[in-house]
Amino acid sequence: MKTLAKNKTKKVDWKRIGEGNLFRLVILLVSGFLLYLLWINKDDLRDLESLGFIGIFIINFISNATIFLPAPGGFSVFFGGAIWNPLLVGIVSGIGAAMGELFAYFLGYGGRGILHLIEKSGKWVKILEGFFHRAGFITTLIYSVLPIPFFDVLGIIAGAVNYPVWKFFLAVLAGRIIRNIVIALTGAKFLNQ
């Protein structure tokens, strides 16, 4: 009973919450600004396809960097697979896509302090941290292969629970390469008949 009363009167440790949050705030603001720039220039993405593999890379980087906003990355892979070597299209676009997904991760990392303010007990944060440290790689790998529209949520959560960025990146890289090779091969099959 004393422990319960003690926890109820515990004050918020603002010093602990403030540690490292300046860096996270900067990441959050820079990510938001870059997303805004990408959104207002989204029509220029179509012009990049003429650049070949570099265009495929850039389109997929930008498409996956736009959090919660649809972008034409899959179309460039589908049509690129019919024009160029589908395996190379899948690999190049997968690398660009994985790098773009880091925006969602760093957005979550930047918002970690906010997560602790919202969920004061830390119960859900600890559950998510435990889950990611147990099954984060395989979950991220599977979800990055599947055409899930809100994959960005997974990246944001991974960043917020401080899942190692290199594990997140490698899982997304493998998953996006697999997915994009399949899309490029499909484009080559259907458009080259």
Q: Is the pLDDT of residue 92 over 90?
A: yes
Q: How many CB atoms lie within 10 A of CB 184?
A: 30
Confidence of residue 32 (pLDDT cuts 50, 70, 90): low
CA-to-CA distance for 147 and 186, rounded, in angstroms? Answer: 15
Global pTM reads: 0.72
Task: Name the DSSP letter for residue 166.
Answer: H
Query: Can you give the pLDDT at residue 94?
Result: 95
Mean pLDDT estimate for the chain = 78
Q: Which residue has the tokens 């991760």?
A: 105
Tens digit of pLDDT for each residue in 41-73? Answer: 656 555 555 677 888 888 888 888 877 666 677
Query: Can you give the pLDDT at residue 58?
Result: 82
Share of the chain above pLDDT 90, in %: 27
CA-to-CA distance for 89 and 97, rounded, in angstroms? Answer: 12
**31 backbone dihedrals φ, ψ, rounded to 5°:** -60, -45
Q: Is the pLDDT of residue 82 over 90?
A: no
Give every CB contact of residue 124 below 8 A, 6+ residues apart in sequence: none
Q: Which of 74, 58, 38 is nearest to 183 (CA)?
A: 74
Tens digit of pLDDT for each residue in 138-165? Answer: 999 999 999 887 888 889 889 988 899 9
